[in-house]
Chain A
């Protein structure tokens, strides 16, 4: 209904604009009708340029004030996430400064030098010094950003297996995720989609003869002990997927036929994250919205929405088919003790097979 009303409003506005133009046209019938801008057009559009500059600044301010705290620019929940956030903030500040200055110059010049009959423009073809300046300054600034960025990138992507990371396989299929833990030996057993045997519940295609596979644990929730480096090995059984964990600043594609990897160290448990003031605000806001929505749903005779509680999520972020929009897995970061207790309750591979 909202959509329909919007369309009607749009149609009316179009008609209104149309009528305005007609009046405008009729008013100038006897005047200059060459359809080339005259001094009056230059003046009006010159002022509109200033107005547009104000609009750009305005929308920037509104966006930062209203939605600037929504972005996950702070409170990263992983060790390397803080580094990404710092780099992001530095880049944003830089962009913000350049954007503010260049948009000002562009629109201000468009206003200041709006055409007038009889004025002559300055014949000014070239200035090597000026051009040198605006070549060399971006070069220096970018060199700095490139070096900073590359150091950060190398640190993030350099996964040192000597640190004894917890190895977890993320397994993607249309349209859900599985996680596989190495078990007591922290080593994943061999696997290939050709070994999948649905009848025996070997859903990830583990090699039943591989001793390392026997104690592997397959789960539908991802539990991570806080402070321990995790190395994810990613697989997909059908199409491309992408494991996106925005709170941890982590993302890597899952590619059929190869194993990709990404590692990070979670630093904030789910419980701790729920208690940060930002998260309490955000969740309260979301629940306000959900209560409003539920009221409408109840009126229509449908089920109200559940109350939202924060959880880390793993999302699919590479188009993968019809239900791409709903391919998710809950991530729980907890203390080592909680993690140990949870993993004990999970079935190991050899016991999960149906014979």
Chain B
């Protein structure tokens, strides 16, 4: 498309906007990004409240709790939580946080916002598909939330929904209507995610502005690009698993079921295997953690470089590490299944591939640390969350060496050690990445600044609570405490761990409540925040060359051309400590790019 036609199109849209096309069925990527973000935040609030209820239940299992009574109603008669509903909380908390907050909320928001703006495109390749994917995602969120209100309770067999527990309503009350809605919601979610991913891939490949070669892309875009590819490769497998499970549940097939005697009767299922489901589930389930963490890593790379006023160290190595992680992520799923009954030889293979992932991860961590070295660090809230991500990614990632080792996994599998590991390395880290992104690009999204002092309080209290919650969990895990227990009081063996659990819960409650500071800051600043300047962080990437006021088409006139890589910070020979990508090379200036 010629430049002329490009800018023309931008103007045309400007005239026809009504309230509905601007705020609801918008095809503008910036508005869709905000829609994803706000939906993600709402789902996040639900997920965090659930985790706080779980923690209160574990810390004070016998005591009636007014909060349970208020929020759970008939599932907490006299304020004592029902055992079934505890498992439902476990399940829905996991599902919401992994898929709805950290996949759609994180990737959906920032891929949509940044891909066109950072590569210099007027919008996504298909604005209509983009709008469709958001509204399909919204539908799946509504169904998931609706499933919380069905008669017998929501799905309760863990976010991994292993059959036969999830397949048989006789096995558990949550495996009835609740499970059906869960499966329908997830099937729709996957459709939304696939539409979005395809759109991201096509946009990045086709719509880069003149001069924006692949090796001049910001690391955010690389991360979103590879994330979308992983999504396209692995999400369909979960969809097939969900469909087969629906067949087993409703149409009498036996893909995952065999030889079952339950509640006094033999069921007709014959020949299937739950282990098959585990393979299908984890073929998505493991790449999924990289779908969650890679965008966070991309965001953090960008924020650390900008706020260090230094180029990201080892740009090409960072890209190579993303590619290596993406490739390895698809061949390690079996490390969730060392003790599932699969052939021990397979366990050896998966141990090997799993521990290999530590190498690209180490490269990324060391490169971030080196980027800080001799920088001029602007410790904005976004920067603090980015440093926080590196910290929790290290702490959580290192224990992966234990869990990935099949021999060691035997004894810590499905204990609190696992909870500590994955919450730090992928839950907290990805949340930090999301917060870093929100603090950093808030001016771009809303034209106003977030209050920095509230941001500092938000970060420091969250950071202390995150360690306070998850660090001690490693130890109760090594002491053999299984996860997903409604209460530990049936095992006197674990009585001496109860005080640890109370401490963890107190940290968790603080950590949860301090998010209110963020929520206040976020919603208050939309209307009353300080107005931003065009490039508040003095950043080099293209999104800051676009006007503050959002227009459909992003740039008033021509799309800027790109002449250099995105990390020319503090480059010798320039007066300013940053040189935007759209500034041509000076005479005799070399494009230093690695």
Write the residues of chain A forming the contact surface with B, with a CB cutoff of 8 angstroms: 1-4, 6-7, 10-11, 13-14, 17-18, 20-21, 24-25, 33-37, 41-42, 44-46, 48-49, 52, 55-56, 59-60, 63, 67-68, 70-73, 83-84, 87-88, 91-92, 94-95, 98-99, 102-103, 105-107, 109-110, 113-116, 119-127, 130-131, 134-135, 138-139, 142, 145-146, 149-150, 152-154, 156-158, 173-174, 192-194, 196, 198, 205, 234, 237-240, 242, 244, 246-247, 249-253, 255-258, 260, 282, 285-286, 289-290, 305-306, 308, 310, 313, 315-326, 328
Interface contacts beyond A3-B67, A244-B482: sample of 16 additional A-B pairs, CB < 8 Å, sorted by A? A4-B66, A11-B513, A35-B451, A36-B449, A99-B395, A113-B373, A113-B375, A115-B379, A127-B314, A142-B401, A238-B168, A242-B413, A247-B480, A251-B414, A260-B341, A308-B492
Q: Could you say which residues of chain A place their CB within 8 Å of the CB of B471?
A: 59-60, 63
The answer to whether B391 touches A107 (Cβ under 8 A) is yes
B384 within 8 A of A: yes
Q: Which residue of A lies closest to B448 (CB)?
A: A35
Whole-angstrom distance from the CB of A68 to the nearest CB of chain B? 7
B158 within 8 A of A: yes
Complexed CA–CA distance, A131 and B312 (Å): 13
Complexed CA–CA distance, A18 and B357 (Å): 43
The answer to whether B492 touches A36 (Cβ under 8 A) is no
Which residue of B63, B266, B390, B476 is within 8 Å of A106 (Cβ)? B390
Whole-angstrom distance from the CB of B426 to the nearest CB of chain A? 17
The answer to whether B374 touches A124 (Cβ under 8 A) is yes
The answer to whether A238 touches B449 (Cβ under 8 A) is no
Q: A256-B259, A256-B274 are in contact. Are A134 and B83 (CB under 8 A)?
A: no
Q: A3-B67, A153-B348 are in contact. Are A105 and B257 (CB under 8 A)?
A: no
The answer to whether B363 touches A131 (Cβ under 8 A) is yes
B552 within 8 A of A: no
The answer to whether A37 touches B380 (Cβ under 8 A) is yes
Q: Could you say which residues of chain B place their CB within 8 Å of the CB of A250?
A: 410-411
Which residue of A6, A105, A138, A156 is within 8 Å of B509 (Cβ)? A6
Q: Could you say which residues of chain A place their CB within 8 Å of the CB of B487?
A: 325
Which residue of A6, A234, A323 is within 8 Å of B506 (Cβ)? A6
Interface-located stretch among B3-11, B36-44, B460-468, B541-549: B460-468
Give me 23 A-to-B residue pairs in the complex whose CB atoms sit less than 8 angstroms apart, sorted by A's number: A2-B63, A3-B56, A3-B63, A13-B513, A35-B452, A36-B378, A36-B537, A45-B456, A49-B387, A70-B497, A119-B376, A124-B374, A125-B311, A146-B355, A153-B348, A192-B259, A194-B259, A239-B162, A242-B339, A257-B271, A290-B495, A319-B90, A325-B484
The answer to whether B398 touches A99 (Cβ under 8 A) is yes
**Contact residues, B295-347 vs A (CB, 8 A):** 308-311, 313-317, 339-341, 344, 347
Interface hub of A21, A91, A306, A321 (most chain B Cβ within 10 A): A321
Interface hub of B56, B59, B173, B379 (most chain A Cβ within 10 A): B379
Interface-located stretch among B104-112, B187-195, B570-578: B570-578
Interface hub of A45, A94, A98 (most chain B Cβ within 10 A): A45
Q: Could you say which residues of chain A place their CB within 8 Å of the CB of B537?
A: 36
The answer to whether B171 touches A238 (Cβ under 8 A) is yes
B486 within 8 A of A: yes
Q: A103-B391, A251-B413 are in contact. Are A193 and B261 (CB under 8 A)?
A: yes
B583 within 8 A of A: no
Complexed CA–CA distance, A244 and B415 (Å): 10
Q: A91-B402, A325-B485 are in contact. Are A114 and B261 (CB under 8 A)?
A: no
Q: Which residue of B lies closest to A137 (CB)?
A: B362
The answer to whether B452 touches A149 (Cβ under 8 A) is no
Q: Could you say which residues of chain A place their CB within 8 Å of the CB of B463?
A: 52
Q: A125-B593, A193-B261, A239-B164 are in contact. Are A84 and B407 (CB under 8 A)?
A: yes
B252 within 8 A of A: no
Complexed CA–CA distance, A201 and B383 (Å): 67
Complexed CA–CA distance, A242 and B410 (Å): 11
Which residue of A63, A138, A317, A321 is within 8 Å of B172 (Cβ)? A321
Q: Could you say which residues of chain A place their CB within 8 Å of the CB of B457?
A: 17, 20-21
Q: A35-B452, A125-B313 are in contact. Are A70 and B351 (CB under 8 A)?
A: no
Q: Could you say which residues of chain B place their CB within 8 Å of the CB of A150?
A: 348, 351-352, 406-407
Q: Give the contact-size bracket for chain B.
A: 35 or more
Q: Could you say which residues of chain A place their CB within 8 Å of the CB of B90?
A: 319
The answer to whether A255 touches B486 (Cβ under 8 A) is no
Complexed CA–CA distance, A255 and B272 (Å): 11
Which residue of A37, A113, A139, A146 is within 8 Å of B372 (Cβ)? A113
Mask, B399-435, CB within 8 Å of A = 1, is: 1011001111011011100000000000000000000
Q: Could you say which residues of chain A place their CB within 8 Å of the CB of B491?
A: 313, 315, 328
Whole-angstrom distance from the CB of B2 to the nearest CB of chain A? 35
Which residue of A37, A95, A319, A324 is within 8 Å of B378 (Cβ)? A37
Which residue of A13, A34, A121 is within 8 Å of B376 (Cβ)? A121
Complexed CA–CA distance, A340 and B451 (Å): 74
The answer to whether A258 touches B394 (Cβ under 8 A) is no
Complexed CA–CA distance, A326 and B84 (Å): 13
The answer to whether B472 touches A255 (Cβ under 8 A) is no
The answer to whether B340 touches A319 (Cβ under 8 A) is no
* Main secondary structure on A side of the interface with B: helix
The answer to whether B372 touches A251 (Cβ under 8 A) is no
Complexed CA–CA distance, A109 and B379 (Å): 12
Q: Could you say which residues of chain A place their CB within 8 Å of the CB of B474?
A: 63
Whole-angstrom distance from the CB of B568 to the nearest CB of chain A? 8
Query: Which 4 A-B pairs give the minimum distances between C-beta atoms?
Result: A257-B258, A71-B478, A246-B480, A157-B344
The answer to whether A67 touches B351 (Cβ under 8 A) is no
The answer to whether A99 touches B454 (Cβ under 8 A) is no
Which residue of B171, B258, B311, B372 is within 8 Å of A239 (Cβ)? B171
Q: Could you say which residues of chain A place their CB within 8 Å of the CB of B567?
A: 125
The answer to whether B310 touches A124 (Cβ under 8 A) is yes
The answer to whether A325 touches B577 (Cβ under 8 A) is no
Complexed CA–CA distance, A244 and B363 (Å): 36
Q: Could you say which residues of chain B place their CB within 8 Å of the CB of A326?
A: 490
Q: Which residue of B lies closest to A306 (CB)?
A: B492
Whole-angstrom distance from the CB of A95 to the nearest CB of chain B? 4
Interface hub of A37, A237, A244 (most chain B Cβ within 10 A): A37
Complexed CA–CA distance, A122 and B34 (Å): 36
Q: Which residue of B lies closest to A156 (CB)?
A: B407
Complexed CA–CA distance, A92 and B474 (Å): 11
Q: A45-B379, A326-B490 are in contact. Are A67 and B472 (CB under 8 A)?
A: yes
The answer to whether B401 touches A145 (Cβ under 8 A) is yes
Whole-angstrom distance from the CB of B171 to the nearest CB of chain A? 5
Which residue of B158, B402, B493, B514 is within 8 Å of A88 (Cβ)? B402
Complexed CA–CA distance, A24 and B451 (Å): 11
Complexed CA–CA distance, A68 and B476 (Å): 10
The answer to whether A322 touches B83 (Cβ under 8 A) is yes
Complexed CA–CA distance, A127 and B363 (Å): 12
Which residue of A94, A105, A114, A238 is within 8 Å of B262 (Cβ)? A238
The answer to whether A113 touches B482 (Cβ under 8 A) is no
Q: Which residue of A lies closest to B442 (CB)?
A: A35
Whole-angstrom distance from the CB of B341 to the nearest CB of chain A? 4
Q: Could you say which residues of chain A place their CB within 8 Å of the CB of B530?
A: 33-35
B60 within 8 A of A: yes
Q: A131-B317, A138-B359 are in contact. Are A84 and B411 (CB under 8 A)?
A: yes
The answer to whether A145 touches B577 (Cβ under 8 A) is no
Complexed CA–CA distance, A2 and B339 (Å): 39
Q: Could you say which residues of chain B place their CB within 8 Å of the CB of A124?
A: 310-311, 313, 370, 373-374
Q: Could you say which residues of chain A place their CB within 8 Å of the CB of B480?
A: 72, 244, 246-247, 315
Complexed CA–CA distance, A125 and B449 (Å): 30
Which residue of B56, B316, B363, B592 is within 8 Å of A134 (Cβ)? B363
Complexed CA–CA distance, A192 and B56 (Å): 42
The answer to whether B399 touches A95 (Cβ under 8 A) is yes
Complexed CA–CA distance, A308 and B359 (Å): 46
B233 within 8 A of A: no
Complexed CA–CA distance, A60 and B474 (Å): 11
**Contact residues, B143-169 vs A (CB, 8 A):** 157-158, 162-165, 168
Which residue of B387, B410, B451 is within 8 Å of A251 (Cβ)? B410
